[in-house]
Structure 1
Amino acid sequence: VSRLVNPLKGVSSRRPRQEFPDLARHYHRANKLWSGSYFAGSGGGAPPSIVKQYIEQQDRPG
């Protein structure tokens, strides 16, 4: 999964950095728009509407 996610994060940060050069001051670390971490999970084959409903019903941190 990391071999897929890391290049996607690099590509997906390039366009905003080109369009919005002022983002540089908000970089998490030098010249990186995204954090080095990521999450990969599975919904167990549930339809997206059920996953969305599950997420919406979770308690939010206070």
Structure 2
Amino acid sequence: MRFRMALYPLLGDLKTICLTLAYLYGLTVYDASYLALGKLLSGDVYTADGKSSKRRRGAK
């Protein structure tokens, strides 16, 4: 099985969105980075992390 991966440096709009989401929703920058990337790429974000999932629900 092959997976395609892309690396996105935390710069520019991605950094701004990430830090804003972390601040507004009490997320770690690590958790907020996934949401920020989803927003920037207009994608869906899925998680199995129940604790942070509750916080993320408000961040749409």
Q: Which has the higher contact order (CA 8 A, sep 6+)?
A: 2
TM-score normalized with structure 2 length:
0.30
TM-score normalized with structure 1 length:
0.29
Greater C-alpha radius of gyration: 1
